[in-house]
Amino acid sequence: MRQTMMQTSMHALRTLLTLSCLALALTVLVPLGGCAARRGPLIPIGGSLDAANTIAFEAMLAGLPRHPTIIIAPFASAEPDESWERARAMFEQHAPGARIERMRDPSLGHEDEQAAVRQLHAAHLLFFTGGDQSRIMQRMWSAPMLVAVFRRDLRVAGTSAGAAAMSHPMFVGGTSEQALTNAPHDDESTPLGKPPGPRTGVRLNNGMVLGTPMLFDTHALARGRYGRMLAALRKQHHLAALGLADASGAVVEQVGGTTTIRMLHDHGGVLAWLESAESKFWTDSRKDVSQGLEPPGVLDSDGARISLLHAGDIVELSRASRARAAGKAGRAGFGSDSSLLVTRAVLRSSGTDIRELPIRTPGQQPSVREPDADARAYDDGVLQALLTRLARQPDRMFSVDSERTRVRVWADSQTRFALHASGVCTVWAARIAIDVRSANADANADSALTPVPSP
């Protein structure tokens, strides 16, 4: 126990020192003509990236010189040599004439770290491959590396684990069910600097500090990760969480207090956010002693919203710090209360607002791939079906169960639906609530995707 406490304290100290050094370095950059806020966009991709994904590669290469310098970091992969060769071949196909380099491994020593920093200063695009995001941060969690990535207009892109590591903190484990019920789970990856031990609930750890107050999750639709996104927002009070689907990406840019997200693909992903400080877990007084878990509760729906986004959708989110919202003195940033709330959310969609369509024929109804009859809340395709059914019947509430949770979605005056020419439907700012049952409570097996009266 004593050793575990010492290890945990050392991890906290290393984290504090690294962030303090980074804050100091960024402060020095301003009078030297640097920029304390990144100008370069982030291009996270949800996974399963291949050379056929022309849209993703065009977004990564847009605006770069004719012969750009591209640095590939294959650190996340268990087979980094194979990952490097595969990524290099894809970029050679899409960027002929580019200078493509493998990033030096900064964990091998001071000389390698300095060489990696020099590579980043000369680069136009930095790309992280997929694998385990904890392996990335074992190489990147130092002030010299974080400052080098943060600098000027460097584009940073990544797929799967490479995208997850682009947010701070980053997801490192836990399914939606485990995150919402604080259930134990098996996870081989060990958070950076943390001692081994039982894993419970949503697992977050240090990611790259890139100036965007968002969480990125990947494989979000196929693995139903919207539940853990909401659980993480409740825990971290970040601006929003963007969950990207496989082979789908987005361009994320930060200008002052506004974050802009431009979706690149249909079925691109989901965006979740909390609008008010009252969005949190309300728990009852019972203790589930049978498995030693936290008490069951409910993710309160006040201010919790979720959107289903497609190609051409552009979202602008504005923020205010919790300290500022509460009227407290202080400046947002490292070492201060930087908890964030969404104060303004705007959607510009390439689709047509359903309310502006004439009386809809069957061909004008939003299309949806129906999941299996016995599908549960966090199975592949269930969230899309739930939200698309809401678009078809916006005056109803729809719910779906998992083993220990019930997910409910409904529309209010801020919810919008935009039908695209491809048949998919953007669902904007739907209300969402997730009820958590005790472990010994029986789920209603007949309630999957069931409409119930609106509140």
* Closest C-alpha among 317, 344, 307, 319 to residue 260: 317
What is the structure's pLDDT at 379? 95
pTM of the model: 0.82
Q: pLDDT at position 186, please? A: 62
Please state which of the ranges 119-123, 226-230, 440-444 shows the lowest mean pLDDT: 440-444
Q: Is residue 4 scored above 70 in pLDDT?
A: no
pLDDT band at 345, cuts 50/70/90?
Answer: confident
**Percent of the chain residues topping a pLDDT of 70:** 69
pLDDT at 19: 52
In the predicted model, is pLDDT for residue 286 greater than 60? no
Tens of pLDDT, residue by residue over 201-260, are 788 899 998 888 889 999 999 999 999 999 998 877 677 999 999 999 999 998 877 899
* Residue 356 per-residue DSSP state: G
Outline which parts of the chain fall under CATH 3.40.50.880: 1-169
Angle at 378 between CA 373 and CA 379, to 5 degrees: 45
Predicted local distance difference test score (pLDDT) of residue 455: 42
- Reported confidence tier of residue 15, pLDDT bands at 50, 70, 90: low
User: pLDDT-derived band of residue 185, with 50, 70 and 90 as boundaries?
Assistant: low
Amino acid 133: pLDDT: 95
Q: Return the pLDDT at 38.
A: 57
More confident residue, 337 or 207: 207
Give, in degrees to the nearest 5, the angle at Cα 315 between 309 and 321: 125
Q: Provide the β-strand partners of residue 215.
A: 241
**For residue 354, what is the DSSP state?**
G
Distances (CA, A) of 33 to 19, 36, 152, 219, 435: 21, 10, 10, 39, 50
Tell me, which fold does domain 1-169 have in CATH? Answer: Rossmann fold (3.40.50)
Per-residue pLDDT for 324 more than 50? no
Give the model confidence (pLDDT) of 60-95 as tens digits: 999 999 999 999 999 999 999 999 999 999 999 999
Question: d(Cα 164, Cα 230) in Å, to the nearest integer?
Answer: 16
* pLDDT over 70 (residue 333): no
